[in-house]
């Protein structure tokens, strides 16, 4: 019974190329003049195996596309996967009509004759309107305007000069309003940054203004908070695209600086710096979770790695520890568990030592340590602040 099944005439078999076919292809390539039968048989088996493998991979692409017809595009994808050159000239969606040639005993694709003269005579020829010319004009890219010295328009033209003057004037009004003591004026400037569709030429200047302002106003947490509001407005402007620019890395570094770096020793501001640090932590978490995509996902790793180093260093001030804990808490539980929990025992003992010191010279350090302890407790058990 078993032998009958093995030798059944209905046994399924794969197509095999003959030795003569291999010799024909070898002669076409100029290498099949004296090919032995053994070599032709081995090559035929190898070619059949590779063709079956190619068709199998192509069928996988066909099934992935939910199609029932294997196309040339599927086979080209399979060829690219095998590091082979794709097939050219067979991508037509129409089916190929095959014709059997009795004289040569071959089957080939039908080659229809096309009279190009009919197409050329029936089509409308384009009329020549003038000499071909090429002109170039610079536009404002990232806030930088170039002038073309070869242009016929003089440099002292009123229109481009007025446009640049308007942008410069608008930039000066924005920067003054952001750092103004008038809350209504500051709010209107922030709304303009959020909704204005014509501030793209000023983007470079605005980012430089924020960067220099955070560096110079390190003693004033109130104005640092206004600069953070400006960063938030730029991020929420739908016209400005920051992901492909180097500005995103600069803004991330500025926001992180406001959250973890201590204020200048000359700071005498009565404004609560912890409000500024809390907002910077939430803003940085928003930038990482909602704004940063795949092209700049490396920034998230750099931020978390830097915060991990801050928590591992007991010589850092408590305000830096507070900012690092607040940022990781705002990013999510996974980042908090990965970066804070490995250092929580060492950090907690360091905080308790500062809290238990009741000397007059340690009053400020004690209050900062209590802030860090509260941030850790809220992160570990967020329901504590609700009870």
Q: Which residues neighbour 357 within 8 Å (Cβ) at sequence distance 6 or greater?
A: 365, 366
CATH numbers and ranges of domains, the chain = 16-89 (1.10.20.10)
Whole-angstrom distance between the N-terminal and C-terminal Cα of the chain? 81
- CB neighbour burial string for 177-199, b if at least 16 within 10 angstroms, e if fewer: bbbeeeeeebeebbebbbebeeb
**Distance between CA atoms of residues 254 and 232, nearest Å:** 12
CA distances from 154 to 83, 144, 165, 167, 376 (A): 56, 19, 17, 20, 64
Q: What is the pLDDT along the chain (387 residues), one digit of tens a residue?
A: 444 444 555 555 667 788 888 888 888 877 766 788 888 888 889 989 999 999 999 999 999 988 888 888 899 999 988 888 888 777 766 777 888 888 877 788 887 777 777 767 765 665 666 677 777 766 554 444 444 444 444 333 333 334 478 888 889 999 999 998 888 999 999 999 999 888 888 888 899 999 999 999 888 889 999 999 999 999 999 888 777 667 888 899 999 999 999 887 666 665 678 999 999 999 999 888 776 554 445 777 888 888 889 888 888 888 999 999 999 888 888 888 888 888 888 888 888 888 888 887 778 888 888 888 888 887 776 554 433
Q: At 99, phi and psi to the nearest 5?
A: -125, 135
User: In this predicted structure, what is the pLDDT of residue 128?
Assistant: 64
Question: Do the Cβ atoms of 296 and 243 come closer than 8 Å?
Answer: yes
HEC-encoded secondary structure of 243-267: CCCCHHHHHHHHHHHHHHCCCCCCC
- Single pTM value for the model: 0.56
Give the number of other Cβ atoms within 10 Å of residue 344's Cβ.
15
Question: Tokens 């390539």 belong to which residue?
Answer: 29
Largest CA distance in the chain: 111
Torsion, CA 371, CA 375, CA 380, CA 385, rounded to 10: 90
Q: Which of 175, 279, 195, 187 lies closest to 236, judged by CA?
A: 195
Q: Which of 152, 116, 121, 157 lies closest to 137, judged by CA?
A: 152
User: In this predicted structure, what is the pLDDT of residue 189?
Assistant: 93
Torsion, CA 125, CA 128, CA 131, CA 136, rounded to 10: -70
User: By CB neighbour count within 10 A (0-12 exposed, 13-18 middle, 19+ buried), where does 157 fall?
Assistant: exposed
User: In this predicted structure, what is the pLDDT of residue 280?
Assistant: 93
- List pLDDT tens digits, range 277-295: 999 999 999 888 776 554 4
Give the number of other Cβ atoms within 10 Å of residue 74's Cβ.
22
Q: At 107, phi and psi to the nearest 5?
A: -120, 125
**Distance between CA atoms of residues 59 and 74, nearest Å:** 7
């Amino acid at each position: 019974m078993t032998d009958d099944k093995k030798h059944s005439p209905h046994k399924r078999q794969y197509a095999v190329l003959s030795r003569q076919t291999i010799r024909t292809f070898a002669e076409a390539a100029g290498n099949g003049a004296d090919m032995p039968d053994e070599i032709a048989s081995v090559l035929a088996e190898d070619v059949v195996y590779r063709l079956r493998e190619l068709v199998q991979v192509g069928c996988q692409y066909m099934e992935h596309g939910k199609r029932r017809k294997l196309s040339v595009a599927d086979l080209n994808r399979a060829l690219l996967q095998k590091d082979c050159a794709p097939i050219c000239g067979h991508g037509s969606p129409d089916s190929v009509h095959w014709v059997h040639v009795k004289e040569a005993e071959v089957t080939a694709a039908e080659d229809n004759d096309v009279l190009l003269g009919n197409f050329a005579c029936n089509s409308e020829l384009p009329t020549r309107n003038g000499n071909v010319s090429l002109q170039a004009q610079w536009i404002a890219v990232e806030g930088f305007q170039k002038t073309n010295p070869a242009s016929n328009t003089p440099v002292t033209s009123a229109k481009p000069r007025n446009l640049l003057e308007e942008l410069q004037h608008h930039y000066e009004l924005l920067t003054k309003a952001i750092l103004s003591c008038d809350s209504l004026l500051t709010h209107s400037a922030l709304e303009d940054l959020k909704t204005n569709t014509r501030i793209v030429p000023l983007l470079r200047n605005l980012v430089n203004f924020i960067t220099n302002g955070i560096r110079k106003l390190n003693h004033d947490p109130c104005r640092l908070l206004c600069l953070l509001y400006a960063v938030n407005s730029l991020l929420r402007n739908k016209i400005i695209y920051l992901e492909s620019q180097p500005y995103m890395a600069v803004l991330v570094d500025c926001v992180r600086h406001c959250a973890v770096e201590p204020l200048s020793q000359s700071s005498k501001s009565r404004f609560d710096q912890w409000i500024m640090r809390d907002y910077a932590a939430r803003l940085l978490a928003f930038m990482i979770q909602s704004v940063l995509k795949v092209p700049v996902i490396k920034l998230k790793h750099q931020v978390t790695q830097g915060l991990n180093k801050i928590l591992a260093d007991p010589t850092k001030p408590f305000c830096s520890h507070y900012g690092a804990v607040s940022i990781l808490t705002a990013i999510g539980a996974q980042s908090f568990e990965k970066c804070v929990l490995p250092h929580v025992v060492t950090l907690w003992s360091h905080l308790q030592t500062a809290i238990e010191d009741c000397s007059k010279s340690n009053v400020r350090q004690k209050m900062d340590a209590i802030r860090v302890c509260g941030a850790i407790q809220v992160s570990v058990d967020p329901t504590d602040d609700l009870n």
